[in-house]
């Protein structure tokens, strides 16, 4: 099983450029998440989708948009990239009701904004 697949793994952007990070899971999970990881700040939730057709803001949504394309796919878009968005981005998924809310993570996408 592939689990959670993120693309691209690495990306360099110039300030003001746009891009979309793609995420897909093959575990039939209902919920999907986007986190960013920065040194000394741990993982911070950007957006999440509790179920297909719904999306909600997390802690740090400014500058980002998301689309839950279908049950498998959840994309993160940067409309006008800023240096402050230089980070490692992780997609994760889970299914509520398994009693524990355990997350399965992708390998990460390292984004640098110049």
Partner 1 sequence: AQSVTQLGSHVSVSEGALVLLRCNYSSSVPPYLFWYVQYPNQGLQLLLKYTSAATLVKGINGFEAEFKKSETSFHLTKPSAHMSDAAEYFCAVSESGGYQKVTFGIGTKLQVIP
Residues of this chain that bind partner 1 (CB under 8 A): 4, 31, 33, 35, 40-45, 48, 50, 58, 90, 92, 94, 96, 99-103, 105-108
> At closest approach, how far in Å is the CB of 66 from partner 1?
14
> At closest approach, how far in Å is the CB of 13 from partner 1?
20
Q: Are 18 and 65 in contact (CB under 8 A)?
A: no
Q: Which is nearer to partner 1, 4 or 78 (CB)?
A: 4
Neighbour tally for 82: CB within 10 Å: 13
């Amino acid at each position: 099983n592939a689990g959670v697949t993120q693309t691209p793994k690495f990306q360099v952007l110039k300030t003001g450029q746009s891009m979309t990070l793609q995420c897909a899971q093959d575990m039939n999970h209902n919920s999907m998440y986007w986190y960013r990881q920065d040194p000394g700040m741990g993982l911070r939730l950007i957006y999440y989708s509790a179920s297909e057709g719904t999306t909600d803001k997390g802690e740090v949504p400014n500058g980002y948009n998301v689309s839950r394309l279908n049950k498998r796919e959840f994309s993160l878009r940067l409309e006008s990239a800023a240096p402050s968005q230089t980070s490692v981005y992780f997609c994760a998924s889970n299914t509520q009701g398994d009693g524990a809310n355990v997350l399965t993570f992708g390998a990460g996408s390292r984004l640098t904004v110049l």
